[in-house]
Structure 1
Amino acid sequence: MKNLIKTSLLVTGSLLCLHASWLPFKGWLSEQLISYSWHQTIDLKQKTKPWPWADTYPIAELSFERLNKRVVVLNGGDPTTLAFSAGAIAPFNQARSAQPFVVAGHRDSHFSFLDEVVMNDIISLADKHGQSQLYQVEAIDIVDASTGELPILADDSQLILITCYPFTNTRNIGNVADSDSNERYVITARLL
């Protein structure tokens, strides 16, 4: 009887450990697949999905040299895309055009480091052809998203990065952090 209890506890503990490690493993694997598909997109010069059933594909890569951070940008700003990486929002999703390139990401994952970006930082944007453009941060704003107005000029070749604000949640309701925010952290960078 003692052996049965020990075996049951061992099996239960093992299953709980496997379950707890699934999400971190899934996150790590998706990052690897997205990175691989980004390199394939550049090498093959065609859209390459990170996995066969993906609704999106990589279109650019942001590099923040001072912070030693890189983010592969996926096409689209829907919740599914943003769950896996930052996403370029249509119609502002064309790198190397005369209109802004607008990228959104979650404050608690892919864009969690944006609060470390400072004025005059240099951001490199590599397009699907592997060509890079440099941008310099010229404004960092906190805006009210409920007004529906973000500082985007439709005829300017800026890089605009958007995430929710504040970065850390200080208000807890029960044991659940309040994730609703009407404020957005907006970084505007001009083409050099």
Structure 2
Amino acid sequence: MRQVIAALNRGLNARLLQTALLLCGLYFGASASWIHIKAELAQLLIQHAWQKTLASPEQKITPWAWADTRPVARLQLPNKKMLMVLDGAQGNSLAFGPGLVAGSDTLGQGFSVIGGHRDTHFAALENAKPGQRLAVQTHHGDWIAYRITDVRVIDIHQTALEKQATEGLILVTCYPFHTIESDPNKRWVVTSERINF
């Protein structure tokens, strides 16, 4: 009888362990997916706010009532993916889309820097190459074209972003790609200059 009870206990323990592992796997899978789901859903809400911005360029329209940022541009990456650019590149904004770094010139009127996460919105920058084109739509609806002139990894403690003499755009994300953690000192930098369409 003891052997039967011991066998039942082992079977029950194995099933409990299997169930616990399955639940843990589901939880961690959902948690990992949440950042991607949130990023994509936010882009839809931000696109809606962008359409309102294009209709009323002088108004500062937020994508949701409690948002502390707003769309300031639409960015087309070399792979033709369209992204909404938010005002500011602080962490709470970057969860929802790439952000125009504070202190940048107005897009299309000087030198601007846009930052984004390497594992969501700016993942496609891993394949950026000199000669490829980017485009930015301003809040007035105008499109500005850029050609990539340089792609490189920098150490932020050794190399500063260089302001170009001409009108330019720099896209920045963490590095390396495809790792659990990025190097806190390294950035993937895509430099481009304004060109005619």
TM-score bracket for the superposition, by shorter chain length: 0.7 to 0.9
Among candidates 176, 181, 184, match of residue 181 of structure 1: 184
**Unpaired stretches in structure 2, ≥5 consecutive residues:** 1-18
- Mapping 1:41-190, distance limit 5 Å: 41-45=53-57, 46-64=59-77, 66-97=78-109, 99-147=110-158, 149-153=160-164, 156-169=166-179, 177-190=180-193
TM-score computed with the length of structure 1 as normaliser: 0.79
Contact 2:155–2:186 (Cα < 8 Å) also in 1: yes
Aligned length: 168
Check 1:75–1:165 CA distance in 2 against 1; reply closer, same or farther (3 A cut): same
For the aligned residue pairs, the C-alpha RMSD in angstroms reads 2.2
Amino acid at match of 1:181: P
Deviant stretches of 4+, over 3 Å? 19-22, 24-28
Contact 1:141–1:185 (Cα < 8 Å) also in 2: yes
Question: Considering only CA atoms, is the larger Rg found in Structure 1 or Structure 2?
Answer: 2
What do the CA deviations read for 1:42-101 (whole angstroms, capped 9, x no partner)? 11222210101111100011113x51211110000110011110000111051121x211
Q: Which has the larger share of strand?
A: 1
TM-score computed with the length of structure 2 as normaliser: 0.77
The separation in 1 between residues aligned to 2:159 and 2:69, in whole angstroms, is 25
The separation in 2 between residues aligned to 1:104 and 1:71, in whole angstroms, is 12
**Unpaired stretches in structure 1, ≥5 consecutive residues:** 1-8, 170-176
The separation in 2 between residues aligned to 1:113 and 1:42, in whole angstroms, is 26
Identity %: 33
